[in-house]
A and B are shown apart, each in its own frame.
Chain A
Amino acid sequence: MDFSLSRPKPHRLKPVLLASLLESDFMSAPTTTAATSATCANCSAPTGGAHFCPSCGKIQPLPRGTDFFSFFGLPQKLTVDLEQLEQRFHSLSWKLHPDHFARASDDERQLSLDRSSLLNDAYRTLRDPVARVEYLLGLAGMRKEGQKKQQAPPELLEEVFELNESLDELREARASGGTAAAMAGLRAKLEAAQHKFEASLAAVDQELARVSAEWDAALDSGADETASRKLMEKMNEVLNRRSYIRNLVNGVRQELAES
């Protein structure tokens, strides 16, 4: 089953959140109706979408499309109290981890696997401010494969141009065995560029934090759909810029490590 040229490559759609396919109105209440109307398979009591049946205590199936925010019982806001999130992560880990279901039935073991893996995925995403924004945009169907691109910030164009020149010179010098002094000079140039790009990255992260705060405020004040969409477009644009700068930083870092 080798990948040959004649065989079509898998075509992957990104991001793969069910919610985005369902075109759900992400501004509405976080839990799905499937979750709130669920009943316990063991005792038929209504579960209200909880991890465990409030009546008999059995672990419950994960409703399809459960999003990370609602899993943690959080509103879809971008400001997250990390200490509180970690505590919640630990307390849910105690309850849901497969270790505690090692002797349970096959069904319950599977449910523990489903819930604990979602718990870990959700924690990994929500504790990171950038991943959190990407996830929120993904939920709203705003960050599909085609909409995700790198965008060069105009104010960095000059530096990027210079960087490419330095890189070319460095590679040439390396290939022709340039003098130590010439190499050191090029290295210093690269290091200066690195500082500049790292500063840009810090700045864009701050910008993202500002827009995130705006988003939370809009949510609190019950902003309309147009205003929200505008904010999301802004976040999307910041993410695209960030992704470009991030690549620059990594690229220069790698060059420096190799030289």
Chain B
Amino acid sequence: MPRTVGIDLGTTYSLIAYQDKREGRPKCIPGPYGTPLCPSVVSVDADGSIIVGEPARRRLLTQSERTIYSVKRLMGRGPADVQDELKIFPFRIDPASKNVIRVRLGDRVFTPPEISAFILRELKSWADEYFQDVVDRAVITVPAYFNDAQRQATRDAGRLAGLEVLRLVNEPTAAALAYGLHEQKRGRVAVYDFGGGTFDISILKLISTTEGDIYQVLSTNGDTHLGGDDIDNALQALAREELSKQGVDLAAHPDTVQELRKALIAAKHELSDAAKTTVKFPLPDGGDAALLGARQKTVYFREITRAEYDRIIRPIVDRTMGPVRQALADAKLTSAEIEEVVLVGGSTRVPLVRSTVEEFFGRRPHAELNPDEVVALGAAVQADILEGGVNDMLLLDVTPLSLGIETMGGVVAKIIPRNSTVPASAQEMFTTGVENQTGIDIHVLQGERELAKDCRSLARFQLKVPPGPAGLARIEVKFLIDASGILQVAARDLRTGEEHKIDVQPSYGLDDAAVERMLEESIEFAEQDFSERQLIEARNEAETVLQATEKALAREQEEAPGDMPAEERHALNGAVTSLREAVAGKDYKRIRAFVDVLNQATMPLAERMMNRALGAALEGKNLGEV
């Protein structure tokens, strides 16, 4: 049974998949509603219990204050970063948030990794159920353009969900893996991944070598805050503006805003195929809808044609093309040199997106794969590669952003350029600038800009140096970006040869201690996990069987003492004792096994009871009735 899964932790939907070893292909695991798509929505009930997925999405309309969607937008970001987001998204950020954002849901407060962990935990329970076994290792996908803090937040979410995160894989690369497996194609491929909240473009080279196929990423670019959400928001802004002109203000009706959002998303989906659609949406009670016309007094009624829709969303779609051009330039390729364009992500269903991409590359994009599932499927393949299953595929990914350190005057010295194949490293030598300086402060940043203030601060730490004349110390620091795109730092004093332990404090995110603390808390609050649940169920089942056996024995003793052969009695007693012992332990599989043994051992007994009951029934009837 495979115990390592691939997870696509998406802005709108999340999925979990595994590599089916028998069929040699990845498959998505369906949830309780029959679909593998789990809405990335989390809600907190009045009693404090956590609701995830489809039921949580329904609560957006009735319990919007207790429910959150698109939490991926908040991962790895500080309160100051999300001010623009707050104008559009109904996130209720706790005012006490410092470096790490805290979101209020009802009367409880959570960090984005904790909320994401609830989604991961839900998906994990689907897999546990599917395999009837505990799944505890996973590959999780992230947008290729995620920075270090966003990646760390995702990894923390995995840990909080009780998963060992073997690797973070970039979403377009995962998609390429699934695509390559499916199509057996080689050459230069562009993956255009337009999801619910993020946009990525990756340029890859698919190469056949004697050892197997290499998927080498040449360049990647994107925007971690651009997605289908923005299309929804543009439509919403239009509707609310029209409504406010008519004297209807929805600001005081958060549930109604969600109702409107739902209606507009439905319209968006319709416009993927139809030439026009009509938005019909009931206005809140007390809304002065007289201006909306006599016929639809309390309903917002609006026709949208494809042409108008295209006009509204054109600026959003155009924003994807800057990153596309940059990625091509970085790969030193022209659009004509791309041999295949693969579309990934739900937003690539939008006709304007398809036509824009087709026009740019001068070729029809490949859209045969299910754009919702392909990322999770690729993650499952990568999970199997790490488990040693698939051994003829190798993924060489890159870091999306340059890594730098702050130097004199707040200028950033780039030490690992963007699009370097990971793992990548850089060694830097540091010394003291003044006499008897005891520490050297290092500020690590990510980004393409010249000045530290314009780049993303990743971490600050201090190198300790023994006091001495300026410039005497020689500290070598090794910065390493691992295969998940996460920074590791190690330092060594070259004069003493001593390794330094570096305590890197993330600028935005949780430190290890905080994650540990949350992990403890989450266990208190979380539903019982799968094995615990299984143990309880198995014990209940065992209790039922034991009681039934006792009753049956007592009854036979009463009705037909001596009917049971000694051999049978011996086996039965043995089975009862073994099951009692198993129930005292914690292995639910062992309990289940002895339940089966006892059921087997009681079969002759049950048969005799049936016969006696049947005999008694026959005795009381006339022959004609039989």
A interface residues (Cβ-Cβ under 8 A, vs B): 1, 3, 7-14, 16-18, 21, 87, 90-91, 93-94, 97-99, 102-103, 113, 116-118, 120-121, 123-124
Contacts and interface: CB of A to CB of B under 8 A. Distances in A.
B431 A11 contact: yes
B427 A16 contact: yes
A123 B214 CA distance: 16
B423 A90 contact: no
B413 A12 contact: yes
Contact of B420 (A7, A91, A98, A120): A120
A193 B430 CA distance: 40
A9 B396 contact: no
B483 A98 contact: yes
B434 A8 contact: yes
Interface stretch (B91-99, B180-188, B436-444): B436-444
A113 B484 CA distance: 12
Interface string B380-416: 0000011110000011100000000111101001000
B423 A16 contact: no
Contact of B396 (A8, A11, A97, A113): A97
Contacts of B207: 90
B482 interface: yes
12 contacts: A9-B407, A10-B407, A14-B413, A14-B429, A87-B209, A93-B396, A94-B212, A94-B214, A99-B395, A102-B388, A113-B480, A120-B423
A98 B482 contact: yes
B79 to A, nearest CB: 18
B421 interface: yes
Contact of A8 (B405, B421, B432): B432
B141 to A, nearest CB: 16
Contact of A13 (B166, B385, B410, B431): B431
Nearest to A86: B207
Most buried by B among A11, A13, A17, A124: A11
Interface string B482-513: 11000000000010000000000100000000
Interface of B: 166-167, 207, 209, 211-212, 214, 385-388, 394-396, 405-408, 410, 413, 417, 420-434, 437, 440-443, 460-462, 471, 474, 476, 480, 482-483, 494, 505
A175 B407 CA distance: 33
A90 B214 contact: yes
A103 B433 contact: no
B407 A12 contact: yes
B437 A8 contact: yes
Contact of B443 (A3, A103, A116): A3
A15 B167 CA distance: 32
A11 B426 CA distance: 16
B138 to A, nearest CB: 13
A9 B440 CA distance: 7
Contact of B405 (A12, A99, A123): A12
Nearest to B424: A120
B423 A116 contact: yes
Contacts of B423: 98, 113, 116-117, 120
B470 to A, nearest CB: 8
Contacts of B471: 11
Given A1-B441, A18-B476, A94-B211, 6 more contacts: A13-B430, A16-B476, A21-B429, A102-B387, A117-B480, A120-B421
Closest 3 CB pairs of A and B: A117-B423, A102-B386, A117-B425
Contacts of A93: 214, 394, 396
A3 B406 contact: yes
A16 B429 contact: yes
Contacts of A117: 422-425, 480
A7 B441 contact: yes
A239 to B, nearest CB: 17
Given A10-B405, A117-B480, A103 B421 contact: no
Contacts of A10: 405-407, 430, 433, 440-442
A3 B444 CA distance: 12
Chain B CB count within 10 A is highest, among A7, A12, A116, A121, for A12
A186 B408 CA distance: 35
Contacts of A12: 405, 407, 413, 428-430
A118 B480 CA distance: 10
Contacts of B505: 1
Contacts of B432: 8, 11
Nearest to A113: B423
Nearest to A124: B420
B421 A123 contact: yes
A10 B476 CA distance: 12
Contacts of B209: 87, 90-91, 94
A80 to B, nearest CB: 17
Given A16-B428, A90-B214, A124-B420, A11 B480 contact: no
Contacts of B388: 102-103
B345 to A, nearest CB: 25
B433 A11 contact: yes
Contacts of B483: 97-99
A88 to B, nearest CB: 11
Given A11-B432, A90-B214, A97 B394 contact: yes
A102 B166 contact: yes
A124 B218 CA distance: 11
Nearest to A9: B408
A8 B421 CA distance: 34
Nearest to A2: B460
Nearest to B417: A124
Contacts of B422: 117, 120
B176 to A, nearest CB: 15
A83 to B, nearest CB: 12
A124 B207 CA distance: 18
B387 A9 contact: no
Contacts of A121: 420, 424-426
A13 B433 CA distance: 11
Interface centre among B395, B483, B505 (most CB of A within 10 A): B483
Contacts of A91: 209, 211
A123 B406 CA distance: 26
B441 A3 contact: yes
A101 B34 CA distance: 36
A124 B420 CA distance: 7
A130 B407 CA distance: 24
Contacts of A3: 406, 410, 441, 443
A102 B482 CA distance: 13
A117 B434 CA distance: 34
Residue of B207, B406, B424 with most partner-chain A CB within 10 A: B424
A46 B580 CA distance: 59
A9 B433 contact: yes
A14 B394 CA distance: 34
B471 to A, nearest CB: 7
Contact of B429 (A7, A13, A97): A13
A229 to B, nearest CB: 24
A23 B476 CA distance: 17
B379 to A, nearest CB: 14
A11 B406 CA distance: 10
A9, A10, A18, A102: residue with the most chain B Cβ atoms closer than 10 Å = A10
Nearest to A116: B423
A34 to B, nearest CB: 14
Contacts of B427: 16-18
Contacts of A1: 441, 460-462, 505
Q: Which of A21, A103, A120 has the most chain B CB atoms inside 10 A of its CB?
A: A120
Given A94-B211, A99-B483, A102-B386, A11 B460 contact: no
A14 B460 CA distance: 21
A16 B431 CA distance: 12
B401 to A, nearest CB: 15
Contacts of A16: 426-429, 476
